[in-house]
Structure formats: C-alpha cells, structure tokens
Structure 1
Amino acid sequence: MTPHGTRKTFFLIALLAVAAMVFAACAAPAAAPATGGEQPAAAAPSSDLPAEPGRGTDGTVTLVYWQQVSILNPYLSSGTKDFHGASLIVEPLLEFNQDSELVPVLAQEIPTVENGGISEDLLSITYKLLPDVVWADGTPLTADDFVFTWQFCTNELTGCTVQNFVGVESVEAVDAGTVKISFAEPTPYPYIPFVGYLSPVLQKAQFEGCEGEAAQSCSEQNTSPIGTGPYKVKEFRANDTVVYEINENYRKADKPHFAEVVIKGAEDASASARAVLETGEADYGWNLQVEPDVLLDMESKGNGKVIAAYGGNVERILINFTNPDPNLGDKRSVWSPDDANPHPFLTDPAVRQALSMAIDRNIIAEQLYGPGGVATCNILSGPPSVVSTANDACLTQDIEGANALLDEAGYADTNGDGIREMADGT
C-alpha cells in the first residue's frame, strides 16, 4: 500500500471500520436497522405481522444502547448515542439518506449555484424553509430560530461540541421563511451548517437565555427539547431510559410508524446483545462491540439476527517514518522540518509495498471483527457512490511477489539468518 498523509505516518492496514456498522436487533420485519454505530447490530424475528402503514400503528419499539443517552441537546453532547436520541426530536435543513445522498428536511430544496441557492462566488448559501412547519408546541418555525442556533453554538462560553459552523461569518433571516448563511471565504461544499443530525435547529423561544455560561444549567431544555421532528420526550431518565411519544404537530400525517419509542441503557455491549438475542427485552441493539464468536453464539439461539452496515471509517496501523536508532537520543523517532530524520528503510516505497503485499487483510478482518469488518484498500471507504473500485490489489496476499520486490530493491538475506539486510549490510 502506498503512503498516505504526512511523512511521519503511512497506512499499512485498512480495515473497514465498524463505525457506521450496527449489530442491531430488530423485533419485526417492520423496521430496518439504523446506520451510524461503531459496531454491528442484531435483528430479532417475530411471528407478528407488521402493522399497516400509518401514524402510530405499530405500538412501541424498544432500542437498547450500551452507551446510555445523557442529554438531548446535540450541541452539548459528545457521544453518538446522544445525537441519535436527539435526532428523533430536532431536525436539520438537510440530511443524508441511506444511500448517502443529500435530501431536504426542513428546506424546500437543496440549494445549488444553478438554482440560485448558492452564490456564484461561493460565499453564501440560501435556504427556503418548508412552509407551515410548526414546533411541537404549535408555534411556527422561522428563520430566526436558525439565527439563534448559530449564535448559541458560536458563543464560546456555551461550550458547543459540534464544529459545523466553522468558517461561517453570519446567519441571516432574510425573511421569516428564508435563511442565508455567509462564509468567510469561498466554500465549494457549503452543506455543513444545519446539515445532518449533528447540526439541527433549536427553538429560540425555548433556549433563549441558555446561551453562554447558562447552557449547562438549562437542564429542562437540554433533556426535553421542543422540536419539529416526529417525536417528543415523554420521560427522560439520564443515563438510563428515554421514552418518546408522537409529536401530534408533526407535518407528515402518516408518520411516524411507531406510537412510542423507548431507548434504554445497558451495562455493556454484551448485555445489550443479550437483551435482544436471548431475553427478548428489546427489539434492537446498537453498536454491539462484542467478540464475534460470542455474538454469533447468541445469534444461534434463533431469537434474533446480527446485521452489519458498513460505514466510511477505516481502522489501520500508522507507522512512524523517522529513525528509531537509540543513538539519536532526544531525536530518536522524532520528525521536524529542520531535521527530517528518515527511517533507514521504511522511507523506501519498495519496502512499504512489500509489507503491504505480505499482509492478509482478510484474515485480520475475519479473526478480529467477524461479520463486523471487511478488508479494504481504500482510506475513503464510504459511501459507496464515492469509493474507488479500482483499488483492490491489497486484498490479495502475495508473499512471493513481496519477496521478489525486496530482491529487486537490493534487500537480501546475506547470512542466512532469515532477516534481510540493506545494501550497506545493516
């Protein structure tokens, strides 16, 4: 594999990470597992037929997370489980669908240069809001809510954990139904502010007064936000359970499907898996970082099914390109612009390629991750629409080819001890 990144590191092994992979446990064939966990998920079969489509027609669905929801304000959260919990309530302008395509949520359309939504100098993007959208309390959503959310998050004293507004110079309410976002410099890809579940809009009326140092003390707002999404909070027990009920003011008359959603916490990933695959306490278990053989043994009981959804992250080994010679003292394994201090052989592309050819990535993925990981040669491993299909040479282990490459590069085992030496004999 060729080097990537800085001179200090290169990617030796790229395993498709289980970051967007979910081992989910779903109770009926009604609902597909959500994407976005760190590990696989499991699905539990049911003899019950799925309900007819319609709002609240399928009762309660229970999801178990071994990382419990602790807050429902995504701007103050540091964990995916909180982002997931909040995403049932608060919404962005745009989001990504299951095919990783941008789709409108609270916006009428996706702004482009062609439709006039993005300025030709790439310094601004303007959104038209869906008409007649109301918050769960029945009050109208307006552009002022977006301006407030930007001000809330960019107040340094708020301690916002989400960085979706970096480079944003201003957010302006052109009128009640139009939001203009201006950037400090030309921005070819402006779909970050208010895009995806990391960057939803907050209700100004609810959160006003919670900016800055007051943010952390607004417990009611942070645990029971008023949103425009399909659900609202019925009960919140921090680090334990969140119960959601339907937002009766949600704009889609036939949604959501489930009348109630429960997200429960479990003590660890194994307990989460057992709750679905063995005891039947839950319908879906997220991010099951459990040993593959243990998880597959649970699945063999026949109460559920493990499902893996692969995401865009990779796990890999990073190798230092600098010289590890102890005689270098403080400069050992240290790189600087003034003294590159190169490694005696890892800086040779032939050596790096030979190492890559000698690795069996498939066996690593199988043994360490089971169904939760697959080998890849790409650092950019998702979404599928942008992944290269012409970069798969590393998937085939080639010991003979690796040895031939080292022979050609002048690395030979001159004394028969099984270790190759460099041309100078070291």
Structure 2
Amino acid sequence: MNEDEIRKSIAEVKQGTLSRRSFIRTMAAAGIAAPVASQILLWNDVAMADSTLQYKPTKAGGGGPLKILLWQAPTLLNPHFAIGTKDQVASRIFFEPLAGWDKDGNLIPCLAAEIPTKANGSLAADGMSVIWKLKQGVKWHDGKPFTADDVVFTWAYAADLATAAYSTGSYKDITVEKIDDHTVKVLFKAPTPFWADPFVGSVGQILPKHHFGDYAGAKSREAPGNLKPVGTGPYKFVEFKPGDLIRAERNPDYHVKNQPHFDTLEVKGGGDAVSAARTVLQTGEYDYAWNLLVEEEVLKRMEASGKGRVDITPSGNVEFIILNTTDPWTEVDGERSSVKTKHPTLSDPVVRQAFNLLIDREAIQKFIYGRGGIATASFVNQPQQFKSGKLTYAFDVDKANKILDDAGWKRGADGIREKDGKKLKYVFQTSINAPRQKTQAIIKQACQKAGIDIELKSVTASVFFSSDVGNPDTYSKLYCDMEMYNTTQPQPDPERFLNQCVSWEIANKENKWLGRNISRWSDPEADKAYKTAQQELDPVKRAALLIKVNEIFCEANILVPLLSRNIVGAGVNSLMADISGWDVTTWNLGSWYRV
C-alpha cells in the first residue's frame, strides 16, 4: 500500500464511509501492524474509539466479587516506584492516568476529557507542547476533587531526582503548567514526536497532591499512600498485605457511568503460574490469572476442562538475557555491578558472541512457550515498522567453539575455557518459574559443549521483581553474571521502551536501582541516535534511529533476545475482560464484567 492509498483510506475514515476497524484490517493486510495503523489515524486527527470491549451492564455494582490471581505478588502500590510489572498492575487498580492504550494501540481517555489532536487545538504542530483537558466531576476516593493541581504535582514529584521514581525519565525534561482547574499544558524542550508518554499508561498515573505533597523528594518512601492508596480508580482500597493480598470495594463515585460491575475485588499474590492457571481453568475458584508463564502443553490440558479459556494478546514484550559487562563480585562505593568496574570475561565481545550462538531459540519456542512466544533476535519486535530487518539468530555450537578457540580461550583440565587465569564460569539467574528453569537448563547444556560453566540461580518472583533497595537478589541490581526475564513495552511506540539502552538511565545506588538501564552498558552512538529520535518529526527517519539503538545493543550481545512474548492470561468463561498488550492488565479494570 503506497502513501496515496493510505491518505485516501484516511479520508474515507474521516468521511465515515470506512470504519476505523476496517482501516486497521486493511493496513494489516498490507503488512502494517494494528498499533501503527491506529497511530496513523491519531496523527491524522481521526477520533479514537471509546474502548475495545463493549460494556453491557446497565448499572454499577451487582456483579459480586471479582477475584484475580497475581502469582508474582505485589509489594507496593505507588505506580511511580513500581519497577516490576506486578506492582504496576496492582497500582493501576487505584490510580489512573490521563489516558491509556487499548489492544489496537488506540489512545483512550481516562482522566482526560478527550485525546489531544491538532484538530481540537490541543496538539502543537511544531511538537513543542500539548494541552490536556481534564474530565470534570472526578473525585478522589476520599471525596476531594481531582484537579489540574494534582497533575502538576505528579509531574514535579516524578521529575524530582530525589524522589528516585521509576518514571523519572518521562517527566524530568518537560514543564507542566496549569491553565485552569481542568486544563494543563505540557511543554517540551525540543520538538517531541511521541508526546503521549507523560501522564499516559503505566508511567502516567496521577497522584493526589493532598496525600503526597508532604512526601516528595527525599521523603518519598515515607508516604502512607505508598501502601494505602487513595486514587480515582473504579475500586477503593480496603486492605493490603505486601507479598500476599489486596482487597478493595466498588467506588460508588466512579467517574465512568455504570462502572464498575463488581462489588468487591480480591487480588491474591504468591504461589506459582501453574497453580494460578489451574485455579482458573480447572477449578474456577478465581476469575482471572495474570501472566501465565506456563508450558504450552500444560495449558492445553487445563483448557480441556472447559471451565475457562486462555487469552493470548499480542504485545511488544520480550524475553531476553542481559550479559553483565560490569563486575558483580566486586563492591565499589557500596554497590556491586558498578559502572566503575569491568567484568573479568563478559567484557570480551567474543565471549558474548559465542554465548549468543549457544541459545536454541527454536527449541525454547516449540517445546516450552508455544503460543506464548516467537523466537527472535531483536529486542524490539512490535510494531513492525520499528523492528530491525538485519538482526538474525543461529544455534551453532561448533561455530561458538571455533570463535572461542580463535580468541585464545582454551579448555583447562576441567574442560572449562580460560585465558590469562580467568575462567568462563558464570552465575545465571532468573525468577522461579518452570519455563524459565527449563530455558536455563537448555542454555546450560549447550554452554557445557563449548567449555562454558553455568551455575543456575532461581529467585522467588516476588523478590526478583520487587523494588526493595535492600535486597541483593532483585533483577535491577544485576548482582550476577547474566540474568533472564521478560520486559514489557508499555506503548505502541518503542521510544520509552528503549531508554533501557541509554547512559542516563543506568540503574545504580544513587537512583535506588530504579534506572531503566539494568545492563549498565552504554554506547555513545546509541545515546546520540536516541536523543535525535526524541526530536525527529519525520516518522521514517525516527524509526530508523530507534532501530539503530536496538541494533547496537543486540549486535554487541549485551541484550540477548530470546522470544517476542505475547500476553498470556486465563479467565473463567463468564468473565469479560479488556486486556491490552500495550498497557498493564488492569488498564481498563472498570469495564470488566460477568455474563
């Protein structure tokens, strides 16, 4: 489909002779992913849909209890500290952004009255500012009104480096002005093509100024609201036991008509993914199970019981391995894996190249993940316009051996390769989960054939993905040689996703290990390409710059992608749930209902 054909179709959508969904299907047939097609409509001032789930209840309440399993148990409820997806999912029950992303990549208003566009005068043509009009009549759970003051405060709170917020990167380079009680203006320092980052999605959740105003900056961890949230969401806080249970009740003053359907909400944490799947698909004891990292064969057996269904939602998520080029075993200024150190052996690019050849991605996909993932060599896989066309993968033990032989890494008497007294011996960690442990085992077996010794380490998921600054086993510490996990792409645009590859986002003691760059590795060319992309208004040139950032990290084998991951969840047959691959699971929780 050429540019003229696309423009013609856009005109038909504006005229009402072609539906938005038909436009998206037409784009898909031409190889343009749904999120990209939705973005094309947004950029051309075509109004977004209200939701991808048609909500049928005619009144709020009456749905009884809603019971959700989050087997990676939440440990906090402040979205701006939620480095783990589980905590983002839990926080979104109570706090809301100005807008979120539906499964087609549409930008859907939440606390905003409408989505900014050039047509409604809210989006500056030069990319330097955006005006958000706020929904009126919204109340915080304690009855106080939601206003522009809360939006401005959230910006200042997250932008303050002393707050050490996970979301700082989305706020530190903007200015937010209050126009009136229900209007704010976001000002960018330079032309900003992707303006829908601050106040949108998982990083966009608004905090009440009257609850957090005394706890900004250095006092941020002392706020009672971190564990007892007062938000604007469809459910009000009742109880939270970190690492175990969340209980909430219907918000009778919720700002969406006839929502929510359920009277109470229980979110149970802990356990494991297999047990969570069984409790929904086989026993029906719970209504929905999140993030089912369960082998395909096991899921199919459970589905056969007929009580529930597995929901597969495309996303930009990726299962990958980080190879640590810093020294995780030497402490400098109170932290290990410091950028001031150098890994004894993984700092050698030849070793990293050989390791990448020892991963049988096809076997991992076929025998473990099934519908849950597709083998890939690219960190960014969706939307397609941002995926590299030159990154490829191969499983080749012989080639890995030759590369190491040629580089002087010789086998010792114990069969382990070494050079200059340094052995290729590594600790490889991930969270406790059967598919991940089986993936580790496959990789370890191949590494043994190449003279690389791997010690496998498994960490309880609630610990591994927590934001506990005092725990050495969290994934953001990277106190090991290599680690594997899934990282989520929170928007149908990879700019924020790729800030995991920039030098100013390196996780360290100073930012309480909440920086997005867990690898600690950086490259001047990647930094330059990323900064340029942030201001490039030409979408083709911008995509090429973001692809370059991705390629630099993948070709250096710092980020070693395994699978392009789908969202895998399970719901009982009676549950209607609106799940998006571009936002957290609870992004539109108020619209869930039972038939």
**Other-structure match for 1:151:** 156
Higher relative contact order (CA 8 A, sep 6+): 1
Call closer, same or farther: CA 1:80–1:73 in 2, change over 3 Å.
same
Gaps of at least 5 residues in structure 1 are 1-33, 36-49, 320-329, 336-340, 347-351, 398-426
Aligned-residue offset at 1:312: 0.9
CA deviations over 1:54-83 (Å, ceiling 9, x no partner): 311211111111111211110122211111
Matched, 1:248 2:252: yes
Cα pair 2:175 2:188 within 8 Å, conserved: yes
Residue identity opposite 2:313 in structure 1 = A
User: SS state of the match for residue 182, structure 1?
Assistant: strand
Aligned counterpart in structure 1 of residue 115 of structure 2, from 92, 110, 115:
110
Q: Work out the CA distance in 2 between the residues paired with 1:167 and 1:152.
A: 10
Matched, 1:369 2:339: no
User: SS state of the match for residue 127, structure 2?
Assistant: coil
Cα pair 2:281 2:307 within 8 Å, conserved: yes
**Other-structure match for 1:313:** 317
Gaps of at least 5 residues in structure 2 are 1-51, 324-341, 395-595
**Other-structure match for 1:93:** 98
Call closer, same or farther: CA 1:62–1:193 in 2, change over 3 Å.
same
- Is the radius of gyration larger for structure 1 or structure 2? 1
CA deviations over 1:312-338 (Å, ceiling 9, x no partner): 13446899xxxxxxxxxx9x9999xxx
Cα pair 2:141 2:232 within 8 Å, conserved: yes
Matched, 1:168 2:176: no
User: SS state of the match for residue 132, structure 2?
Assistant: strand
User: SS state of the match for residue 262, structure 1?
Assistant: strand
Matched, 1:270 2:266: no
Aligned counterpart in structure 2 of residue 213 of structure 1, from 218, 224, 233:
218
Cα pair 1:158 1:212 within 8 Å, conserved: yes
Q: Work out the CA distance in 2 between the residues paired with 1:278 and 1:334.
A: 45
Call closer, same or farther: CA 1:88–1:187 in 2, change over 3 Å.
same
CA deviations over 1:128-185 (Å, ceiling 9, x no partner): 1122222222222111111111111122222211235345331111111111111222
| Deviation larger for 68-77 or 270-279 | 270-279
Residue identity opposite 1:374 in structure 2 = I
Residue identity opposite 2:192 in structure 1 = T
CA deviations over 1:394-424 (Å, ceiling 9, x no partner): 89x9xxxxxxxxxxxxxxxxxxxxxxxxxxx
**Other-structure match for 2:284:** 280
Q: Work out the CA distance in 1 between the residues paired with 2:391 and 2:142.
A: 56
Considering fraction of residues, name the structure with more helix. Answer: 2
Considering fraction of residues, name the structure with more strand. Answer: 2
**Other-structure match for 1:222:** 226
Call closer, same or farther: CA 1:391–1:214 in 2, change over 3 Å.
closer
Q: Work out the CA distance in 1 between the residues paired with 2:65 and 2:349.
A: 60
Give 4+ residue runs of structure 1 displaced > 6 Å after superposition: 316-319, 332-335, 390-395
Counterpart mapping for 1:9-408 below 5 A: 52-166=57-171, 168-219=173-224, 221-315=225-319, 364-375=364-375, 380-383=380-383
Cα pair 1:230 1:247 within 8 Å, conserved: yes
Call closer, same or farther: CA 1:91–1:51 in 2, change over 3 Å.
closer
User: SS state of the match for residue 215, structure 2?
Assistant: coil
User: SS state of the match for residue 146, structure 2?
Assistant: coil
Residue identity opposite 2:256 in structure 1 = K
User: SS state of the match for residue 240, structure 2?
Assistant: strand
Residue identity opposite 1:113 in structure 2 = K
Aligned-residue offset at 1:362: 5.8
Q: Work out the CA distance in 2 between the residues paired with 1:240 and 1:252.
A: 29
Residue identity opposite 1:109 in structure 2 = E
| Deviation larger for 294-303 or 194-203 | 294-303
Call closer, same or farther: CA 1:76–1:318 in 2, change over 3 Å.
closer
How many residue pairs get matched?
325
Cα pair 2:378 2:391 within 8 Å, conserved: no
Cα pair 1:312 1:383 within 8 Å, conserved: yes
TM-score after normalising by structure 2: 0.48
Aligned-residue offset at 1:298: 3.2
Cα pair 2:250 2:263 within 8 Å, conserved: yes
> What RMSD, in angstroms, separates the aligned Cα atoms of the two structures?
3.8
Q: Work out the CA distance in 2 between the residues paired with 1:288 and 1:342.
A: 35
Q: Work out the CA distance in 1 between the residues paired with 2:185 and 2:145.
A: 19
Residue identity opposite 1:299 in structure 2 = E
TM-score after normalising by structure 1: 0.66
Q: Work out the CA distance in 1 between the residues paired with 2:164 and 2:246.
A: 24
User: SS state of the match for residue 158, structure 2?
Assistant: helix
Cα pair 2:208 2:231 within 8 Å, conserved: yes
Aligned-residue offset at 1:121: 3.1
Q: Work out the CA distance in 2 between the residues paired with 1:200 and 1:317.
A: 29
Aligned-residue offset at 1:196: 0.7
Residue identity opposite 2:108 in structure 1 = V
Call closer, same or farther: CA 1:294–1:342 in 2, change over 3 Å.
closer
